């Protein structure tokens, strides 16, 4: 029987999580995996601060700032000063950023349908519920490891 780590490594590889230029294939944009995650988190959070998104993604602020500048230069993301605290920079999506995310969403929905299409409704529900449990367990483990940034991987 394969170990949990082997299963996670295999999933990561097969799902394409190691593919640095993930979005070339799905939306024709030169968007890296990190940039795709940034756009997704900005949409999910509304108008979050740069610090908030960097912490949510577990990316160091220097790397994060460089990625934000690249997205801003491509007119996918905006930066603005918070009206309540001028030291805080807020992020927002541009119309072009929304369109790129919509393309990624459509691509991912089709890919996930391919994955789940061969499963019964019960199997789908079981996988989704199991992923939720796994995410909760990882979050709890990351919280107990001081300085880990909420992750459990060795490469923090």
pLDDT in tens, 20-30: 555 556 666 77
- What DSSP string runs through 71-93? HHHTTSEEEEE-SS-TTPEEEEE
Residue 98 in 3-state DSSP?
helix
Per the DSSP assignment, residues forming a β-bridge with 78 are 92
| Residue keyed to tokens 């409704």 | 121
Per residue in 44-65, pLDDT (tens digit) is: 999 999 999 998 888 888 889 9
Q: Where are the beta strands (DSSP E) in the chain?
A: 77-81, 89-93
Tell which residue, 63, 62, 5, 1, has the closest CA to residue 35. Answer: 63
Per residue in 58-111, pLDDT (tens digit) is: 888 888 999 999 999 999 999 999 999 999 999 999 999 999 999 988 888 888
Give whole-number Cα distances, 28 to 21, 35, 71, 85, 96, in Å. 10, 14, 15, 37, 13
Taking the domains of the chain in order of start, what are their residue ranges?
16-117, 119-156
CATH 1.10.10.10 fits domain 16-117: yes
């Amino acid at each position: 029987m394969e170990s949990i780590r082997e299963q996670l490594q295999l999933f990561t590889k097969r799902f394409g999580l190691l593919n640095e230029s993930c979005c070339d294939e799905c939306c024709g944009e030169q968007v890296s995996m990190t940039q795709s995650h940034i756009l997704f988190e900005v949409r999910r959070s509304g108008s979050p601060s740069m610090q908030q998104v960097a912490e949510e993604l577990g990316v160091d602020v220097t790397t994060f700032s460089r990625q934000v500048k690249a997205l801003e230069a491509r007119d996918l993301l905006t930066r603005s000063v918070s009206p309540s605290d001028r030291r805080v920079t807020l992020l927002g999506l541009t119309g072009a950023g929304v369109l790129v995310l919509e393309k990624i969403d459509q691509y991912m929905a089709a890919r996930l349908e391919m994955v789940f299409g061969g499963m019964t409704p019960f199997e789908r529900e079981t996988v989704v519920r199991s992923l939720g449990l796994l995410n909760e367990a990882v979050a709890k483990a990351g919280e107990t490891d001081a300085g880990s940034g909420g992750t459990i991987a060795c490469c923090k």
